[in-house]
């Protein structure tokens, strides 16, 4: 026998291994518990909420004033604020991010890439409060002084622009990763028939990397939808059903923060309303996340 461990020792070793494996499994399964906890809490409090408020009214009413004496609970203004800020953010981040991704992946030298990519990732390390500060005290005055003199101090536009800057790394970096994963053989084939680098990038590489880029976009959208502090600081906290980003508006997230800052008694309708709003938010981002997960699986399998 090469090993000098007795059968008894081996048996105890196997027992220890089983215990360790069980512990590791518990740690992994805890993530499921977290999700269950989130869903549980949101559903529980929302159920309470919807006992007092009709679901139909919730989804269709155009005014959100839960803290008034005559409260109205239409989620549309909040949804609208969320969507508006996300659209503005995308309008900033999508063209910039994609262009940057194409440039970094197809044109930039490795040295340039090695310096700029990490720098771009630093953008996502800036705390959102600081971004809010930036939006309120730099972007808004800048816009007011240059192209939009009548811009109110609180507005969705500045918030949206700053959120766009914040999600830029998502789009640029993840899209660039997706494009870099496209095999060189495809590029070579295109270049060999006389296409320019630019044409190759746009007509061959981009389409090939589509799932990865789509996944990047979906993740960025999810991030923008869930953003809280930038809008809470810079967009004002007035729910407002509008499609004009130059007005102040509130998002779902900003509303939750506003209520939390106040002092709502546990169990009151105002307290429960933040869970109902949170449930809507969770369902939105859940959809996006699952979509992104599926898209990423697809692009990983393609190679």
Binding to another protein, residues 16-75 (CB under 8 A):
16-17, 20-21, 23-25, 27-32, 34-35, 37-38, 40-42, 44-45
Choose one: 64-72, 112-120, 147-155, 179-187; the region binding another protein (CB under 8 A).
Answer: 112-120
Least spacing, CB of residue 147 vs another protein, in Å = 17
As a three-state string, the secondary structure of 256-275 is HHHHHHCCCCCCCHHHHHHH
Q: List the interface residues with another protein, window 262-281 (CB under 8 A).
A: 266, 274-275, 278, 281
**Closer Cβ to another protein, 125 or 149, answer by number:** 125
Calculate the dihedral angle through the C-alpha atoms of 237, 243, 245, 250, rounding to the nearest 10 degrees: 10
Residues 171-190 that bind another protein (CB under 8 A): 172
Tell me the site size for another protein, rule CB under 8 A: 97
Q: Per the structure block, which two tokens stand in for 13? A: 């070793």
Complex with another protein: residue 30 or 54, whichever CB lies closer: 30
Two structure tokens written together for 190: 């295109």
- Classify 14 in phi/psi space as left (phi over 0), alpha (psi -120 to 50) or beta: alpha
Selected from 15, 67, 114, 183, the binder of another protein by CB under 8 A is 114
Rounded CA-CA distance 75/255 in Å is: 11
For another protein, the binding residue among 84, 182, 209, 257 (CB under 8 A) is: 257
Distance between CA atoms of 224 and 250, rounded to whole angstroms? 14
Cα end-to-end distance, the chain, whole Å: 47
User: Which span sits near another protein by CB under 8 A: 54-62, 151-159, 183-191, 226-234?
Assistant: 226-234
């Amino acid at each position: 026998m090469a090993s000098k461990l007795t059968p008894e020792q081996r048996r105890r070793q196997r027992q220890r291994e089983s215990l360790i494996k069980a512990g590791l499994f518990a740690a992994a399964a805890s993530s499921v518990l977290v999700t269950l906890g989130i869903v549980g809490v949101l559903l529980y409090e929302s159920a309470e909420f919807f006992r007092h408020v009709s679901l139909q009214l919730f989804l269709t009413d155009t005014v959100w004033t839960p803290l008034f004496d005559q409260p109205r609970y239409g989620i549309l203004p909040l949804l609208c604020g969320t969507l508006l800020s996300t659209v503005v953010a995308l309008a900033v981040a999508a063209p910039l991010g994609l262009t940057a991704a194409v440039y970094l992946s197809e044109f930039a030298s490795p040295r340039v890439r090695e310096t700029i990519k990490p720098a771009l990732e630093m953008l996502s390390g800036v705390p959102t409060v600081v971004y809010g500060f930036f939006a309120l005290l730099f972007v808004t005055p800048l816009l007011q002084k240059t192209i939009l003199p009548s811009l109110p101090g609180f507005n969705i536009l500045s918030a949206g622009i700053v959120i766009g800057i914040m999600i830029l790394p998502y789009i640029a970096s993840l899209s660039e990763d997706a494009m870099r994963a496209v095999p060189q053989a495809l590029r070579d084939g295109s270049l060999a028939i006389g296409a320019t680098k630019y044409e190759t990038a746009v007509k061959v590489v981009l389409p090939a990397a589509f799932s990865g880029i789509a996944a990047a976009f979906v993740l960025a959208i999810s991030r923008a939808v869930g953003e809280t502090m930038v809008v809470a600081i810079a967009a004002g906290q007035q729910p407002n059903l509008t499609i004009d980003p130059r007005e102040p508006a509130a998002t779902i997230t900003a509303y939750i923060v506003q209520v939390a800052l106040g002092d709502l008694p546990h169990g009151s309708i105002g307290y429960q309303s933040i869970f109902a709003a949170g449930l809507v938010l969770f369902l939105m981002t859940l959809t996006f996340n699952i979509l992104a997960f599926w898209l990423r699986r697809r692009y990983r399998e393609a190679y």
